[in-house]
């Protein structure tokens, strides 16, 4: 990760992952990215998307864990990134309890 990306993610971690220190949050940058994708404001989402690129956003979305995205954000990002056609968005990740 470049220093520029690192600085932006530190700033975003401070704002969107308030229960951890920014440095602790950056141990899992994909978690910071997912949180911003899910609840970020327009300016923060745009800045992050420009910095990390669509390939990174696609990877975060396709590797999402249970509870990282709400339905609205899940659908938005699948359409925005061209990962799904209208009406063909995959189901949100679910826990499998045996």
More confident: 19 or 96: 19
Q: Would you state the pLDDT for residue 1? A: 55
Average pLDDT (5-16) is 93
pLDDT digits (tens, 9 = 90+) for 32-77: 999 999 999 999 999 999 999 999 999 999 999 999 999 999 999 9
The proportion of the chain whose per-residue pLDDT surpasses 90, expressed as a percent, equals: 89
Q: Would you state the pLDDT for residue 63? A: 97
Instruction: Label each residue of the chain as H, E or C.
Output: CCHHHHHHHHHHHHHHCCCCCHHHHCCCHHHHHHHHHHHCCHHHHHHHHHHHHHHHHHHHHHCCCCCCCCHHHHHHHHHHCCCCCCCCCCCCCCCCCC
Would you kindly state where each structural domain of the chain is located, as residue ranges?
3-80
> Are 34 and 67 spatial neighbours (Cβ–Cβ below 8 Å)?
no
Q: Quote the CA–CA distance of 98 and 84 in Å, as a whole number.
A: 30
């Amino acid at each position: 990760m470049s220093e520029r990306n690192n600085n932006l993610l530190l700033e975003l971690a401070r704002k969107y992952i308030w229960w951890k220190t920014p440095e602790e949050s950056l141990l899992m940058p994909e978690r910071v990215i997912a949180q911003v994708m899910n609840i970020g404001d327009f300016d923060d989402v745009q800045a992050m998307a420009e910095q990390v690129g669509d390939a990174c956003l696609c990877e975060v979305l396709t590797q999402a864990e249970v509870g990282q995205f709400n339905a609205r954000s899940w659908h938005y990002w699948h359409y925005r990134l061209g990962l799904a056609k209208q009406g063909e968005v995959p189901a949100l990740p679910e826990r499998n309890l045996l």
